[in-house]
Chains A and B, each alone.
Chain A
Amino acid sequence: MTMATSQVGRPATAHGAAPGLPSRLAALESLVELGRGRVDAELLDDTGVLLDRAGQRLMLSGDHSVVALAGGTGSGKSSLFNAVCGLELSPVAVRRPTTSAAHACVWGLEGAGPLLDWLNVDKRYRYARASALDRVATGPDGGLAGAGRGENSLQGLVLLDLPDHDSIQTDNREEADRFVAVADLLVWVLDPQKYADAALHRNYIVPYAQHAAVTLIVLNQVDVLRPEEIDDCVADLRRLLEAEGLHDPHIVTTSAVTGAGVDDFRQVLVDTVAARRVRSERLSADVDKLAARFTDYCAMGTVPAMVDERRAASLFGALTEAAGVPAVAEAMESAYELRAVDYMGWPISRAVARLRRDPLRKMRLTALRDELRGAFTGPIGAQQGDVDNALQGVTDGVAADLPEAWQRSVRRAAREHAEELPDALGQALKDSLPAFNQVPRWWWLVKTWQYFLVFLSLLGLGWTLLLVVYGVFDLGSEPTPLISDPGLLPYVALVVLCPLGIGYLTASMCRNVAALSAAKHGERVEQHMRDRIVVAARQMVLDPVAEELSAVALFRAEADTARGL
């Protein structure tokens, strides 16, 4: 019991190394999904068609093998069909072309109905062992036993007699093509006169060269050749087929007229039906052929996971430039210094400056000055042009080794957010600004100190006035010597001048300090901005690229599975 199981299981495990048909079909399905918008649409459509067909065929009877007799007009498809069936089911004639609709003969009707419906064989041309053939089996024929055994061993065969593919009746070709596309086993019926026809080789043998496992070549009408000519002819045909890529073709010679070779052909059919493999082999061959078309999309070494560091760095650099980070930092420094002067400048020199002639006032545009002051609204976005140019070369390095289609898709991924990037960069910059708009506490202290000094010198000035009024000119009474003693004047003058001097010195010193701290601040903020830009660039450029690259890698993996690697 266990022995039996393991024996049954063996082919599956032996197959285990290479992916089986179901997993290859699944891989194709995910290729279709991944490939949308990235891969040639026609290829994806073809894949979709194959997946549909495979799904339908796999749902229909697996006990039946669909064998199609195809070939040129006059090669004897119908004669062979009748010879295998043992009955004149398909009309045979010398008038060309003879058959214009496919005939089908089924051995073992159970479950074959839906299959024949799917194959879309005209109900008038369906024959079954249960009807016409039974009569043969039960007929008063001497070869009853032999025929009966033959029928039995063909159980599960759906034999199709197709119209020709090369006559002036173009409808016939369409009809034949329809069946050639879906049959499990393709039997090409050739004859000595037509075996080298371009119509057959170019349109069928070459395109179906990969279907060698489910292709059978029958050289019919060998009765017209002498025995020694048959071998020459078969050898020539074999050479021709192999040259066209049909490896190790299985060639059977028959003569429907004399009956020679028909039994061999029948035996091949018996074996085929018994093995019940052609259905999946046919689909595997289809998958092989289709998956090979994905090869172009897989011609690459290892897919890089990321944009390399050097290019990433140059992208960051370019985006930093695009957002004008150094300029923003400089403008911020200027603003910082200006604000520092507002706070810590020597009030008296400012008052003096205001007295100077002002062109804006002359132009009645004084309001403009404040507006200009308010111009520091902070950075707004980045140049779209610069951003576009920065994105231009990002993917060159990673995509260079990829096939053209992936180069395009990776490039597209890099540009996906190109439109939003300027605003995002602007936002990133804005986030780093608050640090700049803060007013350090010591500015207040200095400001207070400056006004205190101003107050002090004003006080001294008042004192001087009093001394002048009461002491020098000796006006009125002298309430106290403090304001009447002219000898105090030099000291009081010191009280006036010292704050003035100290204030001026403080202002210039603070300006230097402010300039220093502005530079330091500028550097810090610039660094902060750079960091934010790196984050934004990763988010909006590098991550989409990495995602696309991983999609490429996944696609490749799936394509490999589909190709049976």
Chain B
Amino acid sequence: MTPPADQSVAGAEQQAGRADLERVLIELRDQVEAFRFVLQAPGVEAAKAAQLEIRNQLDDYVLPRIRGDGAPLLVVLGGSTGAGKSTLVNSMVGARVSATGVLRPTTSSPILVCHPDHTGWFIGANILPGMGRVEGPAPDAIAGDQLVIISSDSLPAGLALLDSPDFDSVFEDHYEFAAKLMDAADLWLCVTTAARYADAQVWQMLQRAREHGASIGVVLSRVPQGAGSEITEHFADLLEEHGVGDARQFTIPETKIEDSRLPEEASEEIRSWLIGIAEDDEQRAEVIKTTLGGVLDSFRTRVPELAKQVEAQVEARTVLSTEVQAAYATALAELDEATRNGTLLRGEVLARWQDFAGTGDLVRALHVRRGRADRRANRRRRTPARVRSLKSALRSGLESVIIAAAEHAAEDVIGRWRANPAGEEMLAGKADALRHASAEMPRRVTRAVSAWQDYVLELIRTEGVTKRTVAKLVSFDDEALSLVLMVGLLGYGTSDVAVEEGTSAVPQRLLKALFGAESLRGMSAKARADLRSRAGMLFDEEAIRFGQALDAAGVPDENTAVQLYQATYNLEVAR
């Protein structure tokens, strides 16, 4: 009744809508494909599988379905090994197209049977584009992921049957195929047997089919004579219990198998139901639409779930990098402690200090002021050996404290990461390189410590304003005093502490007498802050190595999750 003009307008609109939907779906596919799960986190294996499934389902089924209007109804027979899937296909086609037998599992390559008119469409790799095609009859040896396509007149034009491998035998690739084919089905026919219907695997697959939005039919085969009603009823109860009660149910009794086929009456019910759907355009379109709708609906939960896992990845990454930061913060605190509690004034540094202070070289660094000429002469004097020894002892002492702290931190990070499954995986093959401080570390530390010593010397020169009362009487050697300041700073803790009697306070008392408490405090604070910032920079550079290890792994970032949410939303809008 509708005028043809309206129809064409509606058709154009539909066309545009479909193009839009296709674009959105391609976007979704690209986004799902664009990242990898690299960090070990709870549920990541499932997420990886889900990622692959979503992508495959988009490629294998959704996109071809949207593009190929009017293609036949694809019925996939999935089920347990030994349930008689191949036998059922043979019976419905009326010819031995798929091998049957007592050895389990029997069928290893999926076999697709369709009307000759559609062979071209299926061979054209529209649906399941990732799989190879072989035109039937099935050769003896087929490489794993080949789809055998057999044309048969006995099927109506609108129907294609796909005999899929089992999902519960020892061959894992069979399961993968079965799952992949299930996702590509317009109608998934689950075939199980009276002996198996309570197997956990059957129900897991039904659950999966339901979650992925498939239209489901259920066949219970090999039902022993006489036990029919008890089993069927129990099975129906179980179906109801698992939320697939509305699926169409069929029963096939255990019968004689002849020529790989069931007696006609056993499979007649299923055959006529399928043909009925296939031949009625409206009904067929309805089934296809329902399944497509179901699949698209399933993306509403499946994609956000994926996005959640991406967020978990981001979270795991944050945890790992926090561990690194914490470890190096500890290292910095360790260094602070070591330069405050006097542990640095041990061993060689102490010996050199004692040598320097005790032999009078320290006192010789102070000169009674006579005149300008005298002062200039002092400047030109060569640095005594003891000063140089003390300086290099201080430098190497400080260096080794910093390096030791860096080593501890690196090991600490390794330990912390090892305790975390995600980190454990990150470290694979890298642990040896990361366990120790980096190779450039010693050189950098040497440079940093020398720079700090120069800075302290500069402080003494520029800020060491001698107390006026003292300045009139005494001049001093900058370099020697800078060492005294360092010893005081590193060896005896802060110079703020109350001056105590005893040798421990010697540097402070001397410096205080020279510079006054105020000026000394300022210099000490500056010198300490400078050291801290230099060490902090060194540790940052060390920590970067771990950051690089994380970056190299290619952990998805927050944007990926956001994009996934956005793609889900876009899909809803486009529908």
B338 close to chain A: CB less than 8 A: yes
B366 close to chain A: CB less than 8 A: yes
Q: Which chain A positions have C-beta within 8 A of B227?
A: 94
A88 close to chain B: CB less than 8 A: no
Given contacts A193-B82, A194-B195, A425-B347, 8 further A-B contacts (CB under 8 A): A168-B199, A193-B195, A197-B81, A327-B389, A359-B363, A359-B368, A359-B474, A364-B513
Contact of B397 with A383 in the complex, beta carbons under 8 Å: yes
Taking the nearest CB of chain B, how far is it from the CB of A280, in angstroms?
Answer: 31
Q: Which chain A positions have C-beta within 8 A of B357?
A: 372, 375
Q: A197-B168, A384-B343 are in contact. Are A166 and B338 (CB under 8 A)?
A: no
0 or 1 for each of A87-110: is its CB under 8 Å from B? (1 = yes):
000000011110000000000000
B367 close to chain A: CB less than 8 A: yes
A465 close to chain B: CB less than 8 A: no
Taking the nearest CB of chain A, how far is it from the CB of B115, in angstroms?
Answer: 33
0 or 1 for each of A290-328: is its CB under 8 Å from B? (1 = yes):
000000000000000000000000000000011110111
B102 close to chain A: CB less than 8 A: yes
Nearest B residue to A384, CB-CB:
B343
Contact of B193 with A193 in the complex, beta carbons under 8 Å: yes
Contact of B169 with A198 in the complex, beta carbons under 8 Å: yes
Contact of A388 with B408 in the complex, beta carbons under 8 Å: yes
Tell me what chain B mostly uses at the interface: helix, strand, loop, or mixed: helix
A386 to B344, CA, bound (A): 10
Nearest A residue to B83, CB-CB:
A193
Contact of A359 with B473 in the complex, beta carbons under 8 Å: yes
Which segment of B69-77, B152-160, B502-510 sits at the interface? Answer: B502-510
A170 to B201, CA, bound (A): 12
B349 close to chain A: CB less than 8 A: yes
0 or 1 for each of B380-396: is its CB under 8 Å from A? (1 = yes):
00000000010001000
Q: A372-B360, A386-B347 are in contact. Are A377 and B503 (CB under 8 A)?
A: yes
A364-407, CB < 8 A from B: 364-365, 368-369, 371-377, 379-386, 388-389, 392
Tell which of B197, B222, B354, B514 touches A96, judged by Cβ atoms closer than 8 Å. Answer: B197
A191 close to chain B: CB less than 8 A: yes
Q: Which chain B positions have C-beta within 8 A of A75?
A: 195
0 or 1 for each of B173-204: is its CB under 8 Å from A? (1 = yes):
00100000000000000000111111111010
Contact of B175 with A198 in the complex, beta carbons under 8 Å: yes
Tell which of B168, B203, B224 touches A198, judged by Cβ atoms closer than 8 Å. Answer: B168
Q: Which residues of A contact B (CB under 8 A)?
A: 72-75, 94-97, 166-170, 191-199, 201-202, 225, 229, 232-233, 236, 240, 244, 321-324, 326-328, 330-331, 334-335, 338, 357-360, 362-365, 368-369, 371-377, 379-386, 388-389, 392, 422, 425-426
Taking the nearest CB of chain B, how far is it from the CB of A197, in angstroms?
Answer: 6
B95 close to chain A: CB less than 8 A: no
Q: A232-B102, A368-B506 are in contact. Are A328 and B351 (CB under 8 A)?
A: yes
Q: A365-B513, A375-B354 are in contact. Are A95 and B230 (CB under 8 A)?
A: yes
A225 to B367, CA, bound (A): 113
0 or 1 for each of B402-437: is its CB under 8 Å from A? (1 = yes):
111101100000000000000000000000000010
B112-130, CB < 8 A from A: none
Nearest B residue to A363, CB-CB:
B513
A-B contact count (CB 8 A): 237
Contact of B509 with A368 in the complex, beta carbons under 8 Å: yes
Contact of B346 with A426 in the complex, beta carbons under 8 Å: yes
Taking the nearest CB of chain B, how far is it from the CB of A205, in angstroms?
Answer: 9
0 or 1 for each of B329-351: is its CB under 8 Å from A? (1 = yes):
00000000010000111111111
Nearest A residue to B509, CB-CB:
A368
Cβ-closest 7 pairs across A and B: A324-B348, A96-B198, A74-B195, A385-B404, A331-B355, A327-B351, A196-B104
Q: Which residues of B contact A (CB under 8 A)?
A: 81-82, 102-105, 168-172, 175, 193-201, 203, 222, 224, 227, 230-231, 234, 238, 338, 343-355, 357-360, 362-363, 366-368, 389, 393, 397, 399-405, 407-408, 436, 470, 473-474, 502-503, 506, 509-510, 513-514
A170 to B353, CA, bound (A): 75
Nearest A residue to B505, CB-CB:
A371
A200 to B351, CA, bound (A): 73
Q: Which chain A positions have C-beta within 8 A of B513?
A: 363-365
Q: Which chain B positions have C-beta within 8 A of A197?
A: 81, 168-170, 199, 201
Q: Which chain B positions have C-beta within 8 A of A381?
A: 343, 346-347
Contact of B347 with A379 in the complex, beta carbons under 8 Å: yes
Tell which of B102, B203, B346 touches A229, judged by Cβ atoms closer than 8 Å. Answer: B102
Taking the nearest CB of chain B, how far is it from the CB of A356, in angstroms?
Answer: 9
A167 to B168, CA, bound (A): 12
Contact of A94 with B230 in the complex, beta carbons under 8 Å: yes
A321 to B195, CA, bound (A): 79
Tell which of A240, A362, A376, A380 touches B358, judged by Cβ atoms closer than 8 Å. Answer: A376
A382 to B82, CA, bound (A): 77
Contact of A199 with B354 in the complex, beta carbons under 8 Å: no
Tell which of B103, B171, B346, B389 touches A422, judged by Cβ atoms closer than 8 Å. Answer: B346
Contact of A95 with B231 in the complex, beta carbons under 8 Å: yes
Nearest B residue to A225, CB-CB:
B102
Nearest B residue to A197, CB-CB:
B168
Contact of B234 with A95 in the complex, beta carbons under 8 Å: yes
Contact of A199 with B168 in the complex, beta carbons under 8 Å: yes
Q: Which chain B positions have C-beta within 8 A of A372?
A: 357-358, 360, 362-363, 506
Q: Which chain A positions have C-beta within 8 A of B506?
A: 368, 371-372, 375
Tell which of A73, A196, A199, A321 touches B348, judged by Cβ atoms closer than 8 Å. Answer: A321
Contact of B510 with A73 in the complex, beta carbons under 8 Å: no
Q: Which chain B positions have C-beta within 8 A of A97?
A: 198
Tell which of B104, B231, B362, B407 touches A392, judged by Cβ atoms closer than 8 Å. Answer: B407
